[in-house]
């Protein structure tokens, strides 16, 4: 089997099913629709099932939305409400608890700047509840945020920064936001994954660091991610697969050319593509040309969803007034 890079549990499950022609024992998949928005829940019930698809045991909710969403304010708000409802479904907290929102990623690299941009749009109240208790009532939850940067900029492991901060302020929940990598081009910038198993910073580009989860931090961790890049070798492989399928469809069944196309081993083909491309492009990741506009849109969608989820006594209008 060729290891195809993806951070999405739904894609990992799809690949296992395709390659093994069977479902995985211990993995439950449920789907629902909210207009044009598709919500898929992947529940990995056992460690054994998690090992088969390369994901920790837990819950992963994937929100797929239309491509035009980034350019339509009403559609953006709709996705924000879905994100908020999913977060409320995954974790329940009393008003007096504190939430830490962490924007992971490199703010100098646009496809990796999602986390820091979300951090900028979070409704922070922890300092106000301490210095202005008469103005900020008990219905407003204590929230703080940080964008700790990446190891290459700070020289400090992101996980170490977050762990130190958690030890100091003792939040009751940590929400991490990061850019991910996808297996399919059609899911890039059109899918939001929310999971309760934490996250490994840099995993989207194959650069694994200290895991940020309940085991390492000692507090519940919710991870929110959007695939903003796709592996170039994977794109090349998919293109050739489409070409082969087209040629097979047009070739005369039973003829030598048809039999030759049908005999091609897809795993061997994938390995050959990676071997040929590696000296020229290495681990090249690809992202759309309008990624700057899209990341700004995604940051607003996710930040609004988080704000509404952790401030359930406020609606989007109240939050926008606070932010302005």
Structural domain spans, the chain: 9-233+284-323, 234-281
pLDDT of 310:
92
Q: Pick the residue with more confidence: 149 or 261?
A: 149
Strand partners, 40: 31, 62
Contacts of 198 (CB under 8 A, 6+ apart): 56, 176, 211, 212, 213, 214, 215, 216, 221, 223
Six token digits for residue 175: 């929400």
- Confirm if 211 and 199 have CB atoms less than 8 A apart: yes
- So what's the pLDDT on residue 180? 93
Q: Is the pLDDT of residue 119 over 90?
A: yes
Helices (H), the chain: 9-20, 47-53, 73-90, 114-120, 126-131, 151-154, 158-169, 214-217, 232-250, 256-262, 266-281, 291-310, 316-323
With a cut of 70, say whether residue 261 has pLDDT above it. Answer: yes
Instruction: Tokens for 52, please give them.
Output: 């088969």
pLDDT tier at 243 (50, 70, 90 boundaries)? confident
Query: Could you give phi then psi for residue 99, rounded to 5 degrees?
Result: -120, 135
110-120: average pLDDT: 96
What pLDDT score was predicted for residue 2? 39
pTM to 2 decimal places? 0.86
Of residues 224 and 256, more confidently modeled: 224
d(CA 110, CA 133) in angstroms, rounded, equals 38
Neighbour count for residue 321 (Cβ, 10 Å): 9
Mean pLDDT of the chain: 87
Q: Compute the distance between CA of residue 113 and CA of residue 188 in angstroms, rounded to an integer.
A: 15
* Lowest-pLDDT range of 99-103, 143-147, 168-172, 275-279: 275-279
Q: Is the pLDDT confidence value at 210 over 60?
A: yes
pLDDT number for residue 202: 53
Whole-angstrom Cα distance, residue 41 to residue 13? 11
Looking at domain 9-233+284-323, its CATH superfamily turns out to be HybD-like (3.40.50.1450)
Mean pLDDT along residues 184-190: 89
Residue 162 pLDDT > 60, yes or no?
Answer: yes
What pLDDT sits at residue 250?
83
Band (54; pLDDT cuts 50, 70, 90): confident
Closest residue by Cα to residue 145 from 109, 181, 178, 121? 121
d(CA 324, CA 321): 5
């Amino acid at each position: 089997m060729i290891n195809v890079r993806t951070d999405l549990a739904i894609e990992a499950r799809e690949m296992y099913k395709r390659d093994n022609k069977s479902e995985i024992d211990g993995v439950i998949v449920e789907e629902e629709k909210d207009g044009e928005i598709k919500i898929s829940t992947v529940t990995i019930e056992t460690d054994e099932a998690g090992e088969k698809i390369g994901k920790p045991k837990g819950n992963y909710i994937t929100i797929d939305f239309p491509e035009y969403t980034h350019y339509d304010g009403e559609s953006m708000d709709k996705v924000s409400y879905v994100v908020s409802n999913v977060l409320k479904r995954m974790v329940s907290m009393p008003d007096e608890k504190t939430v830490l929102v962490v924007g992971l990623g490199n703010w100098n690299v646009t496809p990796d700047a999602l986390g820091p941009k979300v951090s900028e749009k979070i409704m922070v109240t922890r300092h106000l509840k301490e210095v202005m208790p008469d103005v900020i009532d008990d219905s407003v939850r204590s929230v703080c945020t940080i964008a700790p940067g990446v190891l290459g900029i700070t020289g400090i492991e992101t996980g170490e920064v977050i762990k130190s901060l958690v030890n100091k302020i003792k939040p009751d929940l940590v929400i991490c936001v990061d850019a991910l990598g996808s297996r399919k081009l059609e899911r890039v910038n059109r899918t939001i994954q929310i999971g309760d198993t934490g996250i490994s910073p840099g995993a989207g580009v194959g650069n694994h660091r200290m895991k940020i989860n309940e085991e390492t931090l000692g507090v519940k961790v919710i991870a929110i991610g959007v695939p903003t890049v796709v592996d170039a070798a994977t794109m090349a492989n998919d293109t050739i697969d489409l070409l082969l399928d087209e040629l097979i469809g047009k070739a005369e069944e039973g003829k030598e050319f048809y039999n030759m196309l049908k005999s091609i081993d897809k795993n061997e083909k994938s390995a050959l593509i990676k071997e040929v491309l590696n000296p020229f492009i290495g681990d090249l990741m690809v992202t759309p040309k309008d990624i700057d506009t899209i990341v700004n849109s995604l940051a607003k969608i996710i930040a609004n969803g988080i704000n509404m989820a952790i401030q359930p006594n406020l609606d989007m209008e109240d939050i926008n007034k606070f932010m302005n």
